[in-house]
Structure 1
């Protein structure tokens, strides 16, 4: 049982595909009203049509004004109790070829997108009797990987933000945590597989194996496993869990 309060309102950024869509569906299954935020209206409308979310708001998480408008519209519909800051983008490049614009792009989406979402929901959430903030980070926020220095730096920043903000808000009803998936079976990882194939000439099976080898269980994590961790952190009985960065990675961390 998730233990979500009756009729809570969950906001999930990047909720149209992959981990975000699975989290949204899990929240719906647990009885929450769910609003998803993303850039592609048609894709999000398909999620609602499938019964995996209730409402949509179009926004680019790297644009603060866009996020503020989306959150305000969602909160006007129903006060927000849960934020899952899931939206992100992973691009790889050797450090020597990662210029300032590349770093800025990864920071803007993966870190500032979390900052903007939290800043937008926090005023309305702080005085409510229950609140949960969960950032979907990555094992790249807990360790390094080659060729993703910008992405890893952004995800490390997310984990630092979570740990600090949890302490600031410890005297309130809010908890702030991060879930850090390892390589997960999503379209984001599919893009990484394609990149490995293109750059190394390996087959799809070999490229998948290259990613799966990081997991001691020898497999990719499923989006449902990540969603289950998020759902647990959002439950009423997880009120003593805050400031944590929980790896969902088969023992990699």
Structure 2
């Protein structure tokens, strides 16, 4: 018999109970019990069907039992684990790549410019030119990385663009490029990484989304939509693989001190007819703590979601914004 914690509407806020879950030929049911806080009496009611017949959760596999130390994070380390990070040549992606490499992971970083990747490559970090908008390129390059460095167990879909444009000025070319880079690219990267990750006993997917994925960003409808889509993808995957040794989470930073902010400073200045100093101040002041976030702060969140003790953090959107957004 299994136990399931439950609340009932007629129970006071502080009252809760562990109720039995009974499995029979007609599915899985709970034996409902209503508690009266005043006199502690218990009444039994007709059991409630939790799962339709044939849809009960699968039994834990022997592999999951054998590798429970990895699942629980007691002895897990990153030595030799293959990490793939898109957009890994600069900014947030590079910070995460360097942190993982320092912890012993075998890191593959991707980007569209091989010379940028080569300039930051190291003993544990290999650069591989890849365009996340191109399905054939993603399929071939990730397969090559797996062949050379083993199954991908850490997947960081980070490649993205951040550009603003009013909806009435947004043409399909702008819209499609935004979706192809930010959303299609994340989907393709995760899909191809899972092909080898699913053959292992442990894996982490940490997508780099944005505060714009949690709330609308004025003047950036296409960007906000792409980041909302990424969060929907991550949450759905967390449900798909629930109970397996793989987790799926997103990090949602505010304005981070990266080359993207530098480029956006010039863009905002031009569109708004203000100085670049004032344009930068707009982004700085959008963060609740009134400063740009350091890439190391985002990387620290990624390390937590990947490291020991993270196995129950799943389907979450971690804000790194300097305060509540």
TM-score (norm 1): 0.95
Deviation sequence 1:186-212 (CA, Å, 0-9, x none): 001111101122223323321111001
CA contact (8 A) 1:162 1:176 kept: yes
User: Mapping of 1:148-163 within 5 angstroms?
Assistant: 148-163=220-235
Distance (Å, rounded) in 2 between the aligned partners of 1:108 and 1:97:
19
Distance (Å, rounded) in 1 between the aligned partners of 2:95 and 2:78:
20
Q: Tell me whether 1:169 sits opposite 2:241 in the alignment.
A: yes
Q: Tell me whether 1:13 sits opposite 2:53 in the alignment.
A: no
Q: 1:52 offset after TM fit, Å?
A: 8.1
SS of the equivalent of 2:296 reads: helix
Distance (Å, rounded) in 1 between the aligned partners of 2:86 and 2:158:
5
User: Mapping of 1:65-76 within 5 angstroms?
Assistant: 65-76=136-147
Pick from 104, 117, 122 the counterpart of residue 194 of structure 2: 122
Distance (Å, rounded) in 1 between the aligned partners of 2:188 and 2:95:
22
CA contact (8 A) 2:249 2:305 kept: yes
Runs ≥4 residues deviating over 3 A: none
Number of equivalent positions: 249
CA contact (8 A) 2:111 2:129 kept: yes
Note closer, same or farther for the CA distance 1:106–1:138 as it changes in structure 2 (3 Å cut): same
- Alignment partner, residue 189 of structure 1: 261
SS of the equivalent of 2:84 reads: strand
Q: Which protein has the bigger helix share?
A: 1
- Alignment partner, residue 227 of structure 1: 299
Distance (Å, rounded) in 2 between the aligned partners of 1:54 and 1:69:
19
Pick from 179, 191, 206 the counterpart of residue 134 of structure 1: 206
Deviation sequence 1:13-53 (CA, Å, 0-9, x none): 000111111111111112111110111000000010xx385
Deviation sequence 1:98-139 (CA, Å, 0-9, x none): 122221111110000000001101121113111000110000
Deviation sequence 1:126-174 (CA, Å, 0-9, x none): 1311100011000010011111100100000000110111010113211
SS of the equivalent of 1:16 reads: coil
CA contact (8 A) 1:37 1:70 kept: no
TM-score (norm 2): 0.74
Distance (Å, rounded) in 2 between the aligned partners of 1:127 and 1:217:
43
- Alignment partner, residue 107 of structure 1: 179
CA contact (8 A) 2:104 2:124 kept: no
CA contact (8 A) 2:96 2:302 kept: yes
Structure (1 or 2) with the larger CA radius of gyration: 2
Pick from 107, 132, 145 the counterpart of residue 217 of structure 2: 145
- Alignment partner, residue 60 of structure 1: 131
Distance (Å, rounded) in 2 between the aligned partners of 1:192 and 1:53:
32
Could you say what the CA RMSD is over the residues aligned between the two structures, in angstroms?
Answer: 1.3
- Alignment partner, residue 14 of structure 2: none
- Alignment partner, residue 68 of structure 2: none
Bigger mean CA deviation after superposition, 197-206 or 169-178 = 197-206
Compare relative contact order (CA 8 Å, sep 6+) and give the higher one, 1 or 2: 1
Bigger mean CA deviation after superposition, 87-96 or 197-206 = 197-206
Q: Which protein has the bigger strand share?
A: 2
CA contact (8 A) 1:85 1:117 kept: yes
CA contact (8 A) 1:24 1:53 kept: no
Q: 1:235 offset after TM fit, Å?
A: 1.0
Runs (5+) with no aligned partner, structure 1: none
